[in-house]
Amino acid sequence: MANSYLDSLTFVRQNTPLVQCLTNSVVMQVTANVLLAAGATPAMADTPTESAEFAAVANGVLINVGTPSAEQYLGMTQAIQGANKAGTPWVLDPVAVGGLSERTRFVEGIVDKQPAAIRGNASEIVALAGLGAGGRGVDATDSVEAALEAAQLLARATGGVVAVSGEQDLIVSTNRITWLRSGDPMLQLVIGTGCSLGALTAAYLGATAQTDISAHDAVLAAHAHLGAAGQLAAQQASAPGSYAVALIDALYEVDVHMIASLVEVYEA
C-alpha cells in the first residue's frame, strides 16, 4: 500500500535528515531550532570553499536569499552545483524577489538549475514567474489565489514543486494542485516562520527521497507540519513571545494523527 503524505513525518523522524541551510542571518537560530524540533539536523554551511562538498553529503539543501552577500551568492552557486551532482534535493526561497534588483537577477539565474521545490509568498512567486513586480519587502501584496498561474508556470519550467504560503497554502506540481488550510495568524508575528518552512521542506524532501512518497506530497507534508504546529501553539500562547516558544514545542509534539485532525487538505 502506498504511503500518504502524512507518512512523511515518520520518515523525517526515522531518518533525521541533514539539511544544509544557506539562509539569511536574521533567522539562522530559529531555523535550526525548527529543524531540530521537527526531527531533522541543521547545518549552516554556506562558505564557497565548503558548500559544494557539504551539499553532496546533506540530505537536503535550502537556498534562501534573505540577507545575501557576494560571498554567500558564490556559496549558494557552489552548493547548487554540489547538490545537483550528488542528486541532493534543494529548495529555493526567493525572499523579496521582484522588489530588489540584485537578488532578483541572482535568483533568475539559478531558478533553471532544477530546484526540487520553490517556496515563497504570493508576490515572490508571481515576480519570479515574470507576472508581477513583487511585494513590499518580505510581505506579499498579492493573494495566494492570484499566484496560481505563476506557480503553474514555474512548476512546468523547473519540473519541481512550487509552494505558495499565505492564509491558505497552495502546492503545485506539473499535474497537480493542492490547497492546505492550516496555521494561525500569530505565525506572522514571529520571525523566521516562512524561512524555516523552506528548511523544513528540504528536510521532508530529503527524508522521503528513497520512498514512494512524491515530492509534491513531501512539500505538502512540511507545510502541514508547520501549520498544525502553528495551530497547536496558538492554543498555548496569547502573545508573540510565548507563541514563538510554544511553536517550537508544538513542532516537536505534533504527530501524524494531530496533523490530520488540525489541517484541511483538498485537491483542485
Annotated binding site: 44, 119, 165, 192
E strand spans, 39-130? 41-43, 60-64, 90-93, 117-121
Residues of each annotated binding site for ATP: 119, 165
C-alpha cell recorded at residue 98: 521582484
Phi and psi torsions of 27, nearest 5°? -115, 10
User: Could you give the strand order of the β-sheet that contains 60-64, starting from the edge strand earlier in sequence?
Assistant: 41-43, 18-22, 60-64, 90-93, 117-121, 161-165, 169-173, 176-181, 264-267
Q: Which residues on neighbouring strands pair with residue 144, listed in sequence order?
A: none
Rg (CA), the chain: 17
C-alpha cell recorded at residue 22: 544557506
**58 in Cβ contact with 20 (< 8 Å):** yes
Residues of each annotated binding site for substrate: 44, 192
CA 266 to CA 204: how far, in whole Å? 20
Q: Enter the DSSP assignment of 7.
A: G
**20 in Cβ contact with 60 (< 8 Å):** yes
**203 in Cβ contact with 40 (< 8 Å):** yes
Phi and psi torsions of 94, nearest 5°? -85, 65
* Positive/negative CA dihedral, 221, 222, 226, 232: positive
Residue type, 128: L
